[in-house]
Amino acid sequence: MRPSRLVPVFVCVVVGLLVKGAVFAAPTTPTITSFLTSRPAQTRVGEPVIIAANGLVSPVRVFFSNGVDANIEAMPIVVDLDRGLIFARVPVGAMTGNMRVTANGVNSNLYYFTVEPGAFTPGTREVSGMVTSGGLGLANAILVLLRGAQCGNVSFQDFAVTDMNGSYTMHGLDGDYQVFVFPPKGTGVANSSAAVTLAPMAVMLDIPLSTGIDVTGRVVDAMMTGLANVRISTDSLGAVQSHEEILTDPNGEFTANLLPGTHEYTIDPPPGNPDATAKGSFSIGAVSPLDVGATALASGVSIRGTLTRDSDGTPLPSAEIQVYDPNACCSAADTKTTAGDGSFVLVVPPNATYEIRTDMDDRTSVTDAQATGVMVGTTPLLRNLTALEAAIISGTVTLQGSGTPLECVGIQARGMAPNFNFGSASSGPDGMYRLRLNPDSDGYIVNTSETDGGATNYASRTWDTTMSGTYFVCEGTPVSAATAGVT
């Protein structure tokens, strides 16, 4: 299973409002770097998305494809110039194809986006309240309603911006959610979150924000040259969850306001940059401001390539690609996100043999691509990847006796000899799971495994055509998965 990731959320400026406070100098041409709500970039009509971009200058507009050209505008949108984020919903009429943004009339790069079939259900259950700082309502803060974040099945349900009194309202379906709150930069208060359960009766949730620590630093390359438009993501490890997104300025410098405590970070250079991603953690005390100094990204040998769908050659952008040295423990040598045309640049130490694999959401219709025995010397290497159309096995995990759906239960699918194909997934908030597998005429043995991110462990069960299943894998019945796309 991949590690859980909180969908990044940010302080926003509603289009048409005056942007307050200083913003980083930006290039004149905007660049879409990723969709932060799905891997690869795909969503249903009406579903909210978060687009990460560099070089945003007001006014900003978003256009999805009509199947030929990018001319279906998403309205209204919310833009955060400081953090390079756009909040939007996929508009009616949008189709699979290249989309784009414009910033002050200048077009961005084209970015391939897949419109999924089916309808997004916004829900009618309501949560509302006030965001406050020092006892006063805080205007222009953004709230994001997320579901299933603890085991990687993140669902982005709704977002809202507080009014002049700090009030907000959001909607969703019945169930447990996390509300993340992000104040405007320059207010001196830090990001925070709160848990909420939506039910038939409307829920009131007031969220007070605390003063944070002003953190500054710089991102540089191996030659100590500042790197512009590097994206830094941080997640707190304390009792109160928080998430921040930061962009470096043209000199590689950055500022952020964070809660005291320990934070994990990921530093992502822009697409195509010949530097490796950096990950780690740091601790923040009670003294403000705090200068964390310069962080140098590692250089090395580049592995360049493009990730595409095997069936039609279309790109798979916003997919995560990891490269590992099988003889080294225990983390990836580099991790990157594919660009709008599916391209990627991995950076690794020279003179070693590596394994490359992708990590995509269970909702996609392709398998994860993999390449083994990739021999790297001292010169750049080209290695393209293709993802096969997947056979899908889906179902629901429930508690025996009560029928209650169980979230975060791991599911494994094991192919029969001689292929021994393998796949895994985890159940979502509704107990549903979705396995993406290589088509195999011999089928798969499907069983539950560990509980990922949940508080309770359950006895492993293997499917044998009955609801109760069997405790013994050897008694399992293979599930047919011979054809791509058939569930």
Residue 192 in tokens: 């925070």
Is residue 163 packed enough to be buried (19+ CB in 10 Å), middle (13-18) or exposed (0-12)?
middle
**Is residue 21 very low, low, confident or very high in pLDDT (cuts 50, 70, 90)?**
very low
Name the nearest CA neighbour of 456 among 236, 173, 174, 150.
Answer: 150
Is residue 76 packed enough to be buried (19+ CB in 10 Å), middle (13-18) or exposed (0-12)?
exposed
- Residue 111, pLDDT > 90, answer yes
Q: How does pLDDT run across 241-265, given as a tens digit for each residue? A: 899 999 999 999 999 999 999 999 9
Name the nearest CA neighbour of 228 among 256, 266, 254.
Answer: 254
In 10 A of CB 107, how many CB atoms? 14
Q: How does pLDDT run across 123-156, given as a tens digit for each residue? A: 999 999 999 999 999 999 989 999 876 666 778 9
**Is residue 204 very low, low, confident or very high in pLDDT (cuts 50, 70, 90)?**
very high
- Residue 238, pLDDT > 50, answer yes
Residue whose token pair is 């006030």:
130
In one letter, which amino acid is 17?
L
Q: How does pLDDT run across 311-365, given as a tens digit for each residue? A: 999 999 999 999 999 888 778 999 999 999 999 999 999 999 999 999 999 999 9
**Is the pLDDT higher at 8 or at 267?**
267
- Residue 236, pLDDT > 50, answer yes
Grouping H, G, I as helix, E, B as strand and the rest as coil, residue 387 is strand
Is residue 480 packed enough to be buried (19+ CB in 10 Å), middle (13-18) or exposed (0-12)?
middle
- Residue 284, pLDDT > 80, answer yes
Q: What is the reported pLDDT for 148?
A: 74
Q: What is the reported pLDDT for 408?
A: 86
**Is residue 57 very low, low, confident or very high in pLDDT (cuts 50, 70, 90)?**
very high
This prediction has a pTM of: 0.89
Q: How does pLDDT run across 444-486, given as a tens digit for each residue? A: 999 998 665 555 678 899 999 998 899 999 999 999 999 998 8
